[in-house]
């Protein structure tokens, strides 16, 4: 019994001595215990080799973000977002012997590591020594840190009181940011447009990242602090007199602090005007219409440009009278006249289209006929039309009133004077006879006289009055369409005696007296000569 108790006591004594000398034995041979150790010689046991670990925490941060000095310890607060996809190349330059505390230069083989979705690289175990750390590749949205630096494993803490075999480093990358300035021009660079509105998009995204951006006094707008990437501006509204230009204005931010400059032109709206060579026109006569179109500077990029004129039913197109400028093709469909433009063949500037139309004989007198022209266009971003104000043509008629009176006594109106009214071609357009009131009735024709120049000819004078020898010119026009003229006639100045009347006896007696006197004087003279 005593033997058994003695054996147990001896066994416990041996175990106690073993636990006391085991740590010293391990330290003497360069090994640490399992897990992470601190202090000289406290590395991880990797068979016969003492090793450590290296953890790289990679973050992206703004250029002016707070930067914290690394201590090599884990759990440090990091400003920024974990950065995936950064490639590091580690090359061992020295070995460390924890038994002799000696660092020996070596030529290690470079090895590459890439940060994961958490921005981390964990290398464990890693042989003790010094490593050159190089950042060799990374995402394009950050500034690559090309500066080499070195990491010791193990490393002594900042105050020199401890040794860390499990090193953590926290390298940062600046996020690339830049700015862009857009300048908005009119059709020429000297015309800078204020108040044009844009949205800003990141390429590939349907929703804008910024809206309602307006150009300022000099046609400029700027956006700062843009991350690396591809973007585009798109115009959403423009200023009066200009058409929207929906072209996407692309640019990219690729370098830290980059300032991109882009521009976009706006072109004026196309304009159209219509005119007519004369507004007051007789029925049956022809007028010429002109349509003037101001083609914008970007006309050749248009997808459509047509000119349309829908004639009033009281106007009749004169076949073959139209003129088609270069790039336009004319067609007619009933009362619709159309000039179809080929934008690729059109040139910026004014072009004029002309055509002739006849005013219907049945058009109501003095009832205005309105007509207008329209342009239909599509500049790839805006599909619209524009119509001219109405152009007016008036089928004109005038009237003529003739008052026949005694030239010496205007209160005496003369009846029975007969007249013809002739046009410029000499054709008789109306006849009439003055009534008891002296007014000539042209059988109603005086109420329906076309504008023009006429001749009024008296074909028969009133009884006892001289007939007019010369025609009277009458002008009916816009200045005077209702013409009234007074025509004077004068009485005859003598009267032939009647056959067998007192007038004949009087002249016979005078003749006999003269003859008797002549005979008496003759015979008296003869007697005187004889004496």
19 within a domain of the structure (yes/no): no
Measured distance between the N- and C-terminal CA atoms of the chain, rounded to whole angstroms: 246
Domain CATH code at residue 387: 2.60.40.740
Domain CATH code at residue 424: 2.60.40.10
Rg of the chain, C-alpha, whole Å: 59
At residue 3, what are phi and psi to the nearest 5 degrees? -65, -45
221 within a domain of the structure (yes/no): yes
Same domain, 170 and 181: no
6 within a domain of the structure (yes/no): no
Q: Would you say how long the chain is, in residues?
A: 531
Same domain, 378 and 313: yes
Range of the domain at 167: 47-174
Same domain, 181 and 84: no
The residue from 120, 155, 174 where one domain ends is 174
Rounded Cα–Cα distance for residues 304 and 3 (Å): 118
511 within a domain of the structure (yes/no): no
Beta strands in 17-127 (DSSP E): 44-46, 49-57, 59-61, 81-82, 87-97, 102-105, 111-114, 120-127
Q: What is the pLDDT of residues 244-264, one digit of tens each?
A: 999 999 999 999 999 999 999
162 within a domain of the structure (yes/no): yes
Same domain, 383 and 411: no
Same domain, 167 and 186: no
State the total domains in the chain: 4
The residue from 265, 287, 311 where one domain ends is 265
Phi-psi label, residue 284: left if phi above 0, alpha if psi -120 to 50, beta otherwise: left
Residue pair 187/265 in contact (Cβ under 8 Å)? The answer is yes
Same domain, 226 and 316: no
- Return the pLDDT at 109: 96
Q: What is the pLDDT of residues 57-112, one digit of tens each?
A: 999 998 887 777 778 888 777 778 999 999 999 999 999 999 999 999 999 999 99
The residue from 369, 396, 423 where one domain ends is 396
Q: Which two tokens stand for residue 77?
A: 């607060």
**Residue whose C-alpha is closest to residue 203's, from 176, 227, 179, 225:** 227
Predicted model pTM:
0.66
How many other C-beta atoms lie within 10 A of the C-beta of residue 271? 15
Same domain, 153 and 213: no
Counting as low any pLDDT under 50, the low residues of the chain are 1-6, 8-9, 11-42, 501, 531
Q: What is the pLDDT of residues 105-134, one digit of tens each?
A: 999 999 999 999 999 999 999 999 999 999
- Return the pLDDT at 30: 35
Same domain, 389 and 295: yes
Same domain, 368 and 476: no
Rounded Cα–Cα distance for residues 312 and 319 (Å): 16
- Return the pLDDT at 507: 52
Same domain, 411 and 364: no
Rounded Cα–Cα distance for residues 134 and 86 (Å): 11
- Return the pLDDT at 45: 54
Same domain, 287 and 390: yes
Residue pair 304/330 in contact (Cβ under 8 Å)? The answer is no
494 within a domain of the structure (yes/no): no
Rounded Cα–Cα distance for residues 188 and 515 (Å): 112
Eight-class DSSP state of 17: H
Same domain, 406 and 382: no
């Amino acid at each position: 019994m005593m033997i058994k108790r003695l054996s147990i006591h001896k066994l416990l004594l041996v175990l106690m001595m073993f636990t006391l000398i085991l740590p010293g034995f391990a330290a003497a041979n360069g090994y640490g215990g399992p897990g992470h150790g601190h202090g000289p010689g406290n590395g991880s046991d990797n068979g016969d080799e003492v090793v450590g670990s290296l953890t790289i925490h990679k973050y992206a941060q703004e250029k002016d973000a707070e930067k914290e000095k690394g201590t090599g310890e884990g759990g440090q607060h990091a400003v920024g977002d974990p950065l995936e996809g950064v490639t590091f190349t580690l090359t061992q330059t020295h070995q460390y012997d924890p038994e002799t505390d000696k660092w020996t230069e070596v030529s290690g083989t470079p090895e590459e590591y890439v940060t994961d979705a958490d921005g981390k690289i964990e290398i464990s175990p890693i042989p003790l020594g010094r490593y050159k750390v190089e950042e060799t590749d990374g995402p394009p949205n950050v500034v690559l840190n090309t500066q080499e630096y070195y990491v010791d494993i193990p490393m002594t803490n900042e105050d020199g009181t401890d040794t860390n075999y499990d090193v953590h480093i926290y390298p940062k990358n600046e996020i690339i940011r830049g700015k862009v300035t857009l300048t908005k021009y009119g059709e020429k660079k000297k015309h800078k447009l204020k108040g044009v509105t844009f949205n800003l998009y990141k390429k590939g995204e349907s929703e804008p990242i910024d809206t309602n951006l307006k150009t300022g006094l000099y046609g400029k707008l700027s956006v700062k602090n843009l991350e690396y990437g591809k973007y585009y501006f798109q115009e959403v509204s423009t200023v009066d007199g200009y058409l929207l230009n929906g072209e996407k204005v692309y640019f990219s931010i690729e370098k830290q602090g980059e300032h991109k400059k882009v521009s976009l032109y706006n072109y004026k709206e196309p304009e159209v005007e219509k005119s007519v060579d004369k507004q007051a026109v007789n029925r049956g006569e022809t007028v010429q219409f002109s349509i003037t179109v101001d083609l914008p500077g970007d006309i050749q990029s248009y997808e459509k440009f047509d000119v349309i004129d829908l004639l009033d039913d009281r106007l009749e197109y004169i076949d073959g009278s139209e003129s088609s400028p270069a790039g336009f093709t004319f067609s007619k469909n009933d009362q619709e006249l159309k000039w179809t433009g080929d934008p690729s063949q059109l040139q910026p500037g004014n072009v004029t289209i002309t055509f002739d139309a006849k005013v219907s004989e049945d058009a109501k007198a003095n009832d205005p006929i309105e007509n207008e022209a329209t342009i239909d266009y599509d500049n790839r971003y805006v599909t619209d039309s524009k119509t001219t104000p109405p152009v007016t043509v008036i089928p004109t008629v005038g009237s003529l009133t003739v008052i026949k009176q005694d030239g010496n006594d205007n209160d005496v109106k003369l009846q029975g004077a007969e007249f013809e009214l002739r046009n410029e071609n000499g054709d008789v357009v109306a006849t009439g006879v003055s009534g008891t009131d002296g007014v000539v009735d042209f059988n109603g024709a005086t109420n329906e006289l076309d504008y023009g120049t006429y001749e009024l000819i008296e074909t028969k004078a009133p009884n006892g009055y001289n007939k007019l020898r010369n025609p009277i010119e009458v002008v009916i026009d816009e200045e005077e369409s209702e013409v009234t003229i007074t025509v004077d006639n004068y009485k005859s100045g003598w009267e032939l005696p009647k056959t067998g009347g007192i007038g004949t006896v009087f002249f016979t007696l005078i003749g006999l007296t003269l003859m008797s006197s002549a005979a008496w004087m003759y015979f008296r003279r003869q007697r005187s000569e004889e004496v």
